[in-house]
Amino acid sequence: DTYLDYGLKLKPYIQDTSVELYKAHKSGKAILFEGAQGISLDVDHGVYPYTTSSNTAAGHISTGTGVSFRDIDRIIGVVKAYLSRVGESPLPSEIHGEEAKSLRDKGGEYGTTTGRPRRVGWLDLVQVRQAVRVNGLTEIALTKLDILNGFKELPICVAYDVEGKRITEMPASLTEYRNAKPIYEALQGWGDLPEYIWDKGYDAMPQTLKDYIAFIEHEVDCPVKIVSVGPQRHETIIR
């Protein structure tokens, strides 16, 4: 009886979501969809079997909501400025030792409930390229750049070495991915960001940081339109 009462209370709010979204779109309203997980966890395009049980790619907005893919005009890929991972999947750009501890501590990369340290690594543009391609990204939101403050040099993984062969896209074979070794480009760090940089805008950022962002854009062929330099909402720069 208790649950029947819940059902009766919820009944007026239960509708065909696809119809409601269609009406909202036709009336000119903006609709925002948020994905919960990255492309590497997609059951079809991710690093199987180290995936979730569903599809996480942007294309599955349509199958999940009933909104036509033709009506989706902007797809923002959220990219953290370094990698972190929970679980046993291969992570070619993973780092260890004091360097990893420094990055982990600054980024707070510990399990929320367990406190267990997460695996961390340098930014892997092979993975980002896949995210751009499979999701059809129109732009990137680059986050947690403040965590990289103070590093004199910042390695970025631009390709993999698999048995002597340089590859720039994700290997189709899990065996190859397990054997992949990162190929790095080292970029100059930017020290500390200017105070209240989010109020001053993109042009006020250190040139080395702008070079870092431009390098990513060139390598993955996708513009970085949102730059996050802190954990708070206002610590964001829109280009």
CA 58 to chain centre: 12
Task: Return the pLDDT at 61.
Answer: 94
Residues 182 and 162 sit within 8 Å (Cβ to Cβ) = no
Task: Return the pLDDT at 88.
Answer: 85
> What's the mean pLDDT when you consider all of the chain?
94
Task: Return the pLDDT at 71.
Answer: 93
pLDDT tens, residue by residue, 150-159: 899 999 999 9
Q: Does the structure show a pLDDT above 90 at 194?
A: no
CA distances from 7 to 10, 20, 224 (A): 5, 20, 45
Which of 73, 33, 72 is closest to 56 using CA atoms? 33
pLDDT band at 169 (very low <50, low <70, confident <90, very high): very high
Residues 224 and 217 sit within 8 Å (Cβ to Cβ) = yes
115's CB contacts (< 8 A; 6+ apart) are: none
Tokens of 3: 């649950």
The pTM is what? Answer: 0.91
d(CA 6, CA 145): 45
DSSP letter for each residue of 72-86: ----EEEEESEEEE-
Q: Does the structure show a pLDDT above 90 at 1?
A: no
Tokens of 80: 């953290």
Q: Looking at the domain 74-239, which fold is it? A: Adenylosuccinate Synthetase; Chain A, domain 3 (3.90.170)
Task: Return the pLDDT at 144.
Answer: 95
Q: Does the structure show a pLDDT above 90 at 87?
A: no
